[in-house]
Amino acid sequence: VLDAVRVAGDSLATGSAEHVLVVSGDAHPSNDPDRARAAGFPYATMGAAMLLHRDPRDGTGFGRVCSSPVTDTAPLVEGYADGSRMGTGGRGTITVRRAPRTDAVLADLAAATVRACAEAQHTDPRTALLIASQPHPGFPAEVAARLGLPADAAATATGVDGDPHTSALTLAYHQAETAGRIGERPVVFVAAGAGPACSCAVYRPAAPTPR
């Protein structure tokens, strides 16, 4: 989603578009929720969308999207077709292996990326709401802890069956806004995944327009 926000920002800045709709979604390839659960498929079946437009007011909206360099040569997560176990269902089966250090590496990388992004955009993470993806369930709290923030300083999507994956940031923002957790304070979006790689962006909500 943050990569799409980066591309959207370029389109809006040049005037080639007045609005950009960023759409995300995930589902088991079979489109069968029962089969997905039986197979241990980790991602929630869901979609989300955010509508972006150019705001003429300075200091509002998304700042520059920051991305971390890929520093590890060995992938943290690998998926492959296991020929020795394919059997009759081999065409529909992928074996996935996660390195034991995956969770810690992603949390460390995300915290470092947030620090760099926040500093570059003159934002104090202590005054912001951290909205994080869910590469593993404890990820948001782990990133907050590495930044010296309490666990409740981070928000993520709730109430879904599985990892909302590409829709995590959009849904988490919607839920936080609905719950009144945002107001006028900055929001720091951070998403990390197997690469390892991470992207971060600071978003500053516009002040309500007086009626």
39: pLDDT strictly greater than 90: no
Mean pLDDT of 201-207: 88
Tokens, residue 165: 């994956």
Residue matched to tokens 């081999």? 90
Q: Is residue 9 within 8 Å of 62, Cβ to Cβ? A: yes
Mean pLDDT of 136-152: 93
Predicted pLDDT at 6: 94
Residue from 168, 166, 132 nearest 151 by CA: 132
Q: What residues are paired with 50 via a beta bridge?
A: 22
Taking only the tens place, the pLDDT of each residue in 157-197 is: 998 888 899 999 999 999 999 999 998 899 999 999 877 88
Phi, psi of 95 (to 5 degrees): -90, 130
Tokens, residue 31: 């489109």
Taking the alpha carbons of 23, 2, 182, 130 in that order, is the dihedral positive or negative?
positive
SS3 content of the chain, % helix, strand, coil (to 5): 35, 25, 40
* pTM score: 0.88
Q: Between 97 and 119, where is the model more confident?
A: 119
Q: Is residue 187 within 8 Å of 181, Cβ to Cβ? A: no
Taking the alpha carbons of 12, 14, 18, 19 in that order, is the dihedral positive or negative?
negative
